Amino acid sequence: MGENKRIVIVTGAARGIGFAAAEAFAKKGDQPVIVDLDPQGVEQATEKLATQYSCDRAGYVTDVTNAGAVKQMVDQVVTRYGRVDVVINNAGLQYVAPVEDFPVEKWELLIGVMLTGPFLLTKYAVPYMKKQKYGRIINISSVHGRTASPYKCAYISAKHGVVGLTRTVAIEVAEDNITVNAVMPGTVQTELIENQLQKLAEEDGITEEEALQKHLLTKQAIKRFIQPEEVAELCVYLASPEASMITGETIGISGGW
Ligand SMILES: NC(=O)c1ccc[n+]([C@@H]2O[C@H](COP(=O)([O-])OP(=O)(O)OC[C@H]3O[C@@H](n4cnc5c(N)ncnc54)[C@H](O)[C@@H]3O)[C@@H](O)[C@H]2O)c1
């Protein structure tokens, strides 16, 4: 393994923004570690990256809400590679319902994956990062970490919450050459959005493109989907030496939202 190869743990990396982020680091010669709930997705993502970028097959089927499993995964990564340089807390999911109908178990699931998950991975990665005096933690929040839309109370609460986590941990680890930042994407073309679009189009009896413009791009000034690769490049920048004084920040990639 090359000396400058960084070890990059990405959660929710079987597909979407997480996979694009893992791929962007692999392209740079780094070693991505794919973490996801979906076993087949982990298998396919690690295979694809290993074939295209000749990195190791490093994948873990891990539920980010499970403290023991997250700790074990981080420990195993460090046992294998001796370090963990970059952590991207990206795993996420959406659920849409008015607050009075919002199922308690969906609230707990969304908060678990998108707020407790980042807390757990941060908690278990930081001791290693402190020891090596280097670390980059990137939390994928959302424009919904600074604004609201109806019927997404759990998602929006988790995305606001992870901003608080970002700001707090950034201060705690600042002297250890560890930065912590949150990225706030607008509407990115992934399954998370495609699933919502399908439903919205059916409900309104319109095409998915019409539903996209009507429901999901109303607040976005540039009226097109953001691509996962565009978010991935921002993550690469935040992990670069040029960004070493950027910490505790929330950075939009929103098309003007
Ligand atoms: N797509 C967008 O428009 C958009 C906008 C802003 C923010 N985001 C955020 O970006 C992140 C990635 O979203 P995406 O659009 O790529 O979604 P996606 O649905 O394509 O991918 C999400 C991945 O997370 C994994 N995952 C879900 N629960 C998990 C768990 N408990 N443990 C481990 N993995 C789990 C899924 O299996 C999936 O592979 C999410 O946090 C999302 O909220 C997305």
Residue 200: is its pLDDT beyond 80?
yes
The residue whose CA is least distant from atom 38 of ligand 1 is 12
Q: What is the pLDDT of residue 4?
A: 80
Report the DSSP pairing between strands 250-253 and 178-185.
Answer: parallel
Which pLDDT band, with edges at 50, 70 and 90, does 41 fall under?
Answer: very high
Say how far apart CA 253 and CA 248 lie, in whole Å. 16
Residue 3: is its pLDDT beyond 80?
no
What DSSP character marks residue 114?
A: I
Q: pLDDT by residue (tens digit) across 132-178?
A: 999 999 999 999 999 999 999 999 999 999 999 999 999 999 999 99
Q: What is the pLDDT of residue 2?
A: 45
What's the average model confidence in pLDDT over 21-27? Answer: 98
Task: Give the residue among 181, 158, 146, 164 at the shortest CA–CA distance from 257.
Answer: 146
Say how far apart CA 132 and CA 195 lie, in whole Å. 41
CB 22 within 8 A of CB 13: yes
The residue whose CA is least distant from atom 44 of ligand 1 is 188
Say how far apart CA 254 and CA 140 lie, in whole Å. 13
Residue 157 has which token pair? Answer: 């609460």
CA of 20, closest atom in ligand 1:
16
- 18 CA to centre of ligand 1 in angstroms: 7
- 192 CA to centre of ligand 1 in angstroms: 7
What's the average model confidence in pLDDT over 36-52? Answer: 98
- 112 CA to centre of ligand 1 in angstroms: 13
Structural domain spans, the chain:
7-186+227-245, 189-225
Looking at the domain that runs over 7-186+227-245, which CATH code has it been given? 3.40.50.720
Mean pLDDT over each residue of the chain, to the nearest integer: 97
Return the higher-pLDDT residue of 64 and 54: 64
Q: pLDDT by residue (tens digit) across 212-242?
A: 999 999 999 999 999 999 999 999 999 999 9
Where is average pLDDT lowest: 152-156, 162-166, 198-202, 249-253? 198-202
What's the average model confidence in pLDDT over 84-100? Answer: 98
What's the average model confidence in pLDDT over 89-98? Answer: 98
Query: Is the CB of 38 within 6 Å of ligand 1?
Result: yes
Residue 1: is its pLDDT beyond 50?
no
Which pLDDT band, with edges at 50, 70 and 90, does 34 fall under?
Answer: very high
